[in-house]
Amino acid sequence: MTAHPPLRSYGRLKTRAIKPRQAALMETLLPGLRPPPGPFDPCTLMPTATGVWLEIGFGGGEHMAAQAGLHPDALIIGAEPFQNGVASALRHIDEAHLTNVRVLDGDARELMANLPDASLDRVFVLFPDPWPKARHHKRRVIQADSVADLARLLKPGGALRFASDVAHYVDWALALFLANPAFRWTAEDAAGWRNPPADHITTRYEEKRLGDVAPVFLDFVRV
């Protein structure tokens, strides 16, 4: 039987012309930030790193760059297929002179497949495409198989944060993470998911409030 590639979990790759400065960074800065093709140990990318973090779908890169600036000892790897977002992230990285960020301009699932077991200390999945139509739910990045892969990649005690302002996607993600015994939800009361975590960084995209509910934050620990 012929193997089929996974369904795309993202929409258009580009919506507008990339600004000249950002286009130049795509040519000069991005090649040196891309993770190597094929299986690799992320520790080799920054041997001095005290931890390895992954952001799946970093949008315009505001959160990723800000976290990298606050945690210079951590290696932060981001994956984003949307080219305008990648270009924006490169601008943030360049302006802040960040050396602890690596960027895959493609599908995060390709990156995850190349990482070894228990290689990540932290994962962020913040405001992913909700694919609101029922027939498109299968395209959501959070599925039973991706949750299982995240469980494989996170170290025991590692942290994962999912955030969304789409009620159905929040319910969807919570059910899938709770169904996997590798994850424990850390919320003890409603404030645990209604209030932004102390270390959360709000982005301009989040502030647009494009969903149908106030942002919900689900924090999990790898058991």
pTM of the model: 0.92
Quick check: is 107 catalytic? no
pLDDT of res. 11: 47
Class of the domain covering 42-203? alpha beta
Q: Out of 129, 149, 165, 212, which one is annotated catalytic?
A: 129
Q: Which residues of the chain have pLDDT under 50?
A: 1-4, 9, 11-12
Residue 162: CB atoms within 10 Å? 26
Collect all residues with Cβ–Cβ distance below 8 Å to 146 and sequence separation of at least 6: 109, 112
- Which sequence spans correspond to the domains of the chain? 42-203
Is 215:163 a contact under the CB 8 Å cutoff? Answer: yes
pLDDT of res. 94: 98
For residue 198, the SS3 value is coil
pLDDT of res. 14: 52
Quote the CA–CA distance of 137 and 1 in Å, as a whole number. 25
Q: Can you spell out the DSSP letters for 6-75? A: PPP----S-SSPPPHHHHHHHHHTHHHHSPPSSS--GGGT-TT-SEEEEEES-TTSHHHHHHHHH-TTEE
Condensed to tens digits (0 to 9), the pLDDT of residues 127-160 reads 999 999 999 999 999 999 999 999 999 999 999 9
Residue 214: CB atoms within 10 Å? 11
Instruction: Characterize 116-130 residue by residue with b for buried, 16 or more Cβ atoms within 10 angstroms of its Cβ, and e for exposed.
Output: eeebbbbbbbbbbbb
Residue 150: CB atoms within 10 Å? 25
pLDDT of res. 16: 76
